[in-house]
């Protein structure tokens, strides 16, 4: 199985779409933490989820928007 090279470039405040929906029905997330685990907030209900990077890379589908101001 090949992982998406785009998923490795994720940054805090990016908005992403995953393949599997949250129970509220939303597919869209805002990245709040980046490291070995990826912290995300659901854009539908604002619930916070922490996924291991390996699972995030499998579920990643596309970027909705990239963070604009990175240090």
What is the domain partition of the chain in residue ranges?
Answer: 7-65
The tokens for 2 are 């090949």
Query: In 10 A of CB 48, how many CB atoms?
Result: 12
pTM: 0.82
**How far are the Cα atoms of 1, 2, 67 from residue 15, in angstroms, in the given order?**
24, 22, 8
Residue 7 pLDDT > 90, yes or no? no
Task: Please give the pLDDT value at position 9.
Answer: 83
Task: Tell me which DSSP letter residue 68 carries.
Answer: S
pLDDT in tens, 27-45: 999 999 999 999 999 999 9
* The pLDDT of residue 67: 79
Residue 1 has pLDDT above 70, yes or no: no
* Cα separation, 23 vs 70, whole angstroms: 31
In a 3-state reduction of DSSP, which class is residue 56? helix
Q: Is the pLDDT of residue 4 over 60?
A: no
């Amino acid at each position: 199985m090949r992982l998406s090279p785009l998923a490795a470039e994720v940054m805090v405040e990016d908005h992403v779409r995953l393949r599997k929906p949250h129970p509220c029905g939303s597919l869209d997330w805002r990245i709040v933490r980046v490291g070995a685990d990826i912290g995300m907030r659901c854009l539908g209900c604002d619930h916070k989820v922490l996924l291991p990077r390996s699972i995030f890379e499998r579920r990643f589908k596309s970027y909705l928007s990239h963070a604009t101001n990175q240090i």
